Amino acid sequence: MFARVQTLHEPAAKLDELAAIGSRQLPSAGNMPGFKGFYYLIDRQNDKAIIISLWEAAENLRQLEAQAAVREKVEAEAGITSPPSEIFEVALSTD
């Protein structure tokens, strides 16, 4: 399994807005090949969030990264630029 991790630095109100956008987008993520899960972590005191999506295989992540249209839609709706992604292999999990 692989994890795609992004770190955001935005005002708390913007982070809440992103959570609302994510809740509308998340149901369709289950239809994406290899999608295994999603976490959106917010630290309101420090205006910071971490987005973690889990994927079955590295190829699934390559397909996700190639879907610029999805990213552009979220960026336009949220009024932000997507932060860079880091990719990690999940070496240990409770699942």
CA count, 13 A, side-chain hemisphere, 6: 16
Q: Quick: pLDDT tens for 18-58.
A: 888 888 878 877 788 899 999 999 999 999 999 999 999 99
Question: Which amino acid makes up residue 18?
Answer: L
Query: Quick one: pLDDT at residue 85?
Result: 84
Q: What is the CATH number of the domain that holds 41?
A: 3.30.70.100
Provide the number of structural domains found in the chain.
Answer: 1
Return the pLDDT at 39. Answer: 93
Q: What is the pTM of this model?
A: 0.80
Per-residue confidence band for 5, with pLDDT thresholds at 50, 70 and 90: very high
Domain that holds residue 22: 2-89
Measured distance CA(25)–CA(18) in Å, rounded? 10
DSSP 11: -
In a domain, 27, yes or no: yes
Give the lowest-confidence range in 10-14, 56-60, 72-76.
72-76
